[in-house]
Amino acid sequence: MKPQIAIISPALADANNGNWQTARRWAGFLRHQARVSVARVWDGSACSAMIALHARRSADSIARYAAGGSGGLGVVLTGTDLYRDIGEEASARRSLELADRLVVLQPAGLDALARGQRAKTVVIIQSAPALLPGKPRQRTFDLLLVAHLRAEKDPLTAARALARLDDPALRLVHIGATGDRSGGPAGGTADTTGADFVAAAARDSRIELHGALPHAATRQMIRRGRILLLPSRIEGGANVIIEAIRSGVPVIASRIGGSVGLLGADYPGLFPVGDDAALAELITRARTEPGFLAGLRQRCERRSALFDPARERDAVCALAHNLTLVHRAMSKEQDQQ
């Protein structure tokens, strides 16, 4: 009989965000070797292993499974886990202690962990199917911003950068929900990022708001863009960077651990977090210097093989196999008692 694996994700299909895409994709990878369920919380059902996304937001399910489950426990660390919550939230730190395996989504994520935690951590780089680049709009130079609007994604830096440039052909094309879907830090204040960005769009007709789109439609929009912008303050390893690269679209991103881990520390399309002037300069170079844009594209193309689905599938299946071995060891120990 195939083992039963529970994937716990605080975001499901209705959220249409990176956590959900990871959970959906991993479930697909595992279904040939296991019976897989995906849910927001663990309902107490017996399973051979549990893989939980988000140390803080899944902390209750992680703690209950560690106390009463019978299998291995893997915890996938998101950007807010690595770069905020494990320093501020006891529940997130507890999740790291309880896990048999930790997962980070790009190699720089290891730097945020203590030495003892790294010993039980694996790096699983996410993936996307390759798409041929689409034909971009010819009368405009489209900068894609794909994110639900919340403070961690820092879309206002992109809006400020655009406001610095008087080029009428530039377009900042936003795809994503305008409200906060993050389930932000406990006790946090209301996030007005969405409202502020919508107000910026009302002032500048070059900002296009497309709202939240289905994943397939979003990928089609990405492949027709000139550049993907990722000005985030926190990322664990953004799916959207991978989707752009696998569509032949170069990236300009803030210099944060999650993006450096995917693009490389010497990638020329990085700018300091929140620095709209530096972002505007990179946009101008991409717009006016064909060699610079071609260089970004070439650098991204050289990393594309890292994001092949077969690589991620093999890593996820190895993780699940190792976690089910923990289950078998527990069962054997119980039988001997």
Helix axes 155-163, 193-203, angle to 10 degrees: 20
Identify the bridge partners of residue 174 per DSSP, sorted by sequence position: 145, 209
Check if the beta carbon of residue 208 is closer than 8 Å to that of residue 158: no
Q: So what's the pLDDT on residue 88?
A: 95
Tens-binned pLDDT, residue by residue, of the chain (337 aa): 899 999 999 988 776 788 888 999 999 999 999 999 999 999 999 999 999 999 999 999 999 999 988 899 999 999 999 999 999 999 999 999 999 999 999 999 999 999 999 999 999 999 999 999 999 999 999 999 999 999 999 999 999 999 999 999 999 999 999 875 544 555 557 899 999 999 999 999 999 999 999 999 999 999 999 999 999 999 999 999 999 999 999 999 999 999 999 999 999 999 999 999 999 999 999 999 999 999 999 999 999 999 999 999 999 999 999 999 875 555 445 444 4
What gap in Å lies between CA 94 and CA 247, rounded to an integer? 39
Please indicate whether the domains covering 4-127+308-336 and 141-307 agree at the CATH topology level: yes
Q: Do 152 and 80 form a contact (C-beta atoms < 8 A)?
A: yes
- Report residue 288: phi and psi, to 5°: -110, -15
pLDDT, tens digit (0-9, with 9 covering 90-100), for 135-194: 999 999 999 999 999 999 999 999 999 999 999 999 999 999 987 554 455 555 789 999
The model's pTM? 0.91
For residues 207 and 213, give the distance between their C-alpha atoms in angstroms, rounded to a whole number: 17
In angstroms, rounded to a whole number, what is the distance separating the alpha carbons of residues 260 and 58? Answer: 26
* CA atoms of 7 and 221, how far apart (whole Å): 29
User: Which residue in this structure is represented by tokens 């994110």?
Assistant: 147
Q: Among the CATH numbers 3.40.50.2000, 3.90.1150.10, 3.20.20.70, 3.40.50.12780, which is that of 141-307? A: 3.40.50.2000
pLDDT at 28: 97
Asked if the 4-127+308-336 domain carries CATH number 3.30.565.10, the reply is no
The number of beta carbons lying within 10 Å of the beta carbon of residue 43 is 11
At 178 the pLDDT is 86
Alpha helical stretches, state H, 227-308: 239-245, 257-263, 276-288, 290-303
Burial 310-331 (b: 16+ CB within 10 A, else e): eebbebbbebbeebbebbeeee
Residue 119 and residue 114: Cα distance in Å, rounded?
A: 9
Q: What is the pLDDT of residue 332?
A: 47
Q: Where are the domains of the chain?
A: 4-127+308-336, 141-307
